[in-house]
Structure 1
């Protein structure tokens, strides 16, 4: 069936978004069979998602998506593994698309708008995001773009007043300077044209290269712009603060202050020693951790991150948008977050620092009229609106830092 191309009216504007949350654990890890291939039909049910990290009984009764809306979020950034779609064609792909369409319908019925994000993962190597990295003219990119058109055709049936489409997540085209190629520019421009061949009213969320960072966005030439486009960036800067996690044996990486001037290298090292001592690490193991982290600790304080440096970083995106005639409210801070301190002190930020960072960054974005989506709703790994253990209740102090509050 041919889809009608809907003209974009002169008063067109992107789907209105304000405050959102990433919904990542539901549809982004499609279950696998023993041989490593996708279970079919693909994707997890709501029950499988809710019981994946805790007993189902820990969740309160009622519609989980209405509860997201009641927290004050007006949209979810729904991340979806494109692997099952790439692994199928014809009726089989339509079956997968029907499951995804039903998921979108369930969210919109709960009063939530949906930013539908194709968000590749590495669990099936044949369909991880390396499929995109052979250049703009590669067969992998052509195959992915064809799949994107099928997804767009599914989404338009839900209405441009309810859904937006983000076809890529954190593309790994590097370097982020003049030494890079124009491949990502070409891929993004061609993908916008693909979606517009399906529908002109559907909001598209465009991302730059370099991991979807502000640097990647400001390297993009938005010559394909129209009124129904958002421009995304992810803000995990400084990464040494937002992602405090040791990936080595007996590693400890935690306790960096926010802003940097509220602490000292000596304070960080003192806190690390206290955590390591409590966990029974020997003096030799403690020294090995301190020696390994010392350069990163020193660099963090030299960079002196603060509200002012974050403001300046966001202004880079605003200045880029202004140069191209794009209003700040068409920028989109699609991810931001901070790992919370683990119970053993091995990773994460202290609550006061984590919450101060979140409030600062959220406030800077809102003052510019930039909609945002915090990472993420529920997971056990440190960035979570829902408490990671025990009853599935919201982190009340995090909600307050986000300008939200849970219903009493």
Structure 2
């Protein structure tokens, strides 16, 4: 009799375990349409001070300047969700030991604050490059197997911390823009790593929708390299990012390679420029390259400028550049039976002003670009999340809490 009871108990446990596996496999429990990315850092405190409560808390740092009134204003403006970038580095650093548990609580508090304001939330684990003042970044996590294993455990712990939240109001994104599989011998590594992250998150949070994206900076091509059948779970939203065309969206950015920092002054759309104005703008860029770029790079940069601008100098060419990522994702989705509502354009946007630079992108250009990207996303039935609330790409604030021009926000308001 005891043996029979043991068998029944084990059968029941097996059925329950199977239910846990299959329960999330209905339609995604989380759905969104129009969103905005909040800021990840504004003061950029060095790792040596991460053990100090008044330096690291509240966390994420945007909570010092964005509260319930500002979040409610976003809801009123037409957004239905925000994406919260959460830097994993403090969770992986040896300087934050006594604050580690508190950091998880802070993320939950931040997510609840957003929901209280009437918005849904994506908690986005958002690695950024390491530097002189921080030891952990994307490269370190990708290159060090032990550190990647610790990142997998962080994903497990974050999923556990969020597991009791309303799955219709909150989703978890496992890694932002993985810098892997772009080229070289590492190509093809990301799918297996993503499986490990997915398994860790799903083991802790059986009901939450998980946001997955491809390699090579979360690009459309990176997403198209994934096979959804490797993730036997329908409670997934697939994300891709697009800042195409890069020549326009990242003008003046000093952190985005050694070429684009010399490029400023090209409005959107560039094909509407008069010939003499176009020539003047391009010659100014060439002059900066000839004067300031490394000597051995100048000729290559000048040729690259002409090559990239030629891809955008007519309405048809610009349309092709904007549309190509969407077409790549649509073809992938059609091949694998992924529904449009399960796809999100997780990041896009146009720089307003690089920190410390005098060059400011005209507000009308930024609004036109965002409007064109939103139109493409919504025509496909994809959700979208513009980058970002403040800072270099800010559409609500610029630097120091000063308000950005209202043009981009008006694009969103007019969608209602």
Q: State if a TM-score over 0.5 links the two structures.
A: yes
Q: Quick one: which of 246, 265, 272 aligns to 1:262? A: 272
* 1:173-209, Cα deviation, whole Å (9 max, x unpaired): 13348x6433211010121111111233211110111
Matched, 1:301 2:309: yes
Matched, 1:23 2:38: yes
Report the Cα distance in structure 2 between the residues aligned to 1:294 and 1:267, rounded to whole angstroms: 18
Partner residue in 2 for 1:94: 101
Contact 1:81/1:118, CA 8 A, preserved across alignment: yes
Contact 1:234/1:334, CA 8 A, preserved across alignment: yes
Contact 1:243/1:348, CA 8 A, preserved across alignment: no
Matched, 1:130 2:139: yes
Distance 1:110 1:155, change over 3 A: same
Q: Quick one: which of 180, 203, 226 aligns to 1:197? A: 203
| Per-residue deviation, 1:36 | 5.0
Partner residue in 2 for 1:323: 335
Report the Cα distance in structure 2 between the residues aligned to 1:189 and 1:371, rounded to whole angstroms: 24
Contact 1:252/1:272, CA 8 A, preserved across alignment: no
Partner SS for 1:373: strand
* 1:90-117, Cα deviation, whole Å (9 max, x unpaired): 9753222112111111111111111001
Partner residue in 2 for 1:220: 226
Matched, 1:182 2:188: yes
Q: Quick one: which of 71, 74, 83 aligns to 2:89? A: 83
Report the Cα distance in structure 2 between the residues aligned to 1:188 and 1:231, rounded to whole angstroms: 12
Matched, 1:211 2:217: yes
Counting only pairs closer than 5 Å after superposition, residues 50-129 of structure 1 correspond to structure 2 as 63-87=69-93, 92-121=99-128, 122=130, 125-129=134-138
Q: Quick one: which of 150, 159, 163 aligns to 1:152? A: 159
Matched, 1:396 2:406: yes
| Per-residue deviation, 1:335 | 0.7
Distance 1:29 1:284, change over 3 A: closer
Partner SS for 1:210: helix
Aligned length: 382
TM-score, normalisation: structure 2? 0.79
Partner SS for 1:133: helix
Partner SS for 2:237: strand
Report the Cα distance in structure 2 between the residues aligned to 1:234 and 1:216, rounded to whole angstroms: 10
Report the Cα distance in structure 1 between the residues aligned to 2:60 and 2:344, rounded to whole angstroms: 31
Report the Cα distance in structure 2 between the residues aligned to 1:231 and 1:18, rounded to whole angstroms: 14
C-alpha root-mean-square deviation of aligned residues, in Å?
Answer: 3.7
Contact 2:218/2:239, CA 8 A, preserved across alignment: yes
Report the Cα distance in structure 1 between the residues aligned to 2:24 and 2:60, rounded to whole angstroms: 41
Distance 1:390 1:101, change over 3 A: closer
* 1:301-354, Cα deviation, whole Å (9 max, x unpaired): 321342243223311111101111111221111110111267998545433332
Distance 1:117 1:342, change over 3 A: closer
| Per-residue deviation, 1:161 | 1.3
Partner SS for 2:244: coil
| Per-residue deviation, 1:67 | 2.0
Runs (5+) with no aligned partner, structure 2: 1-16
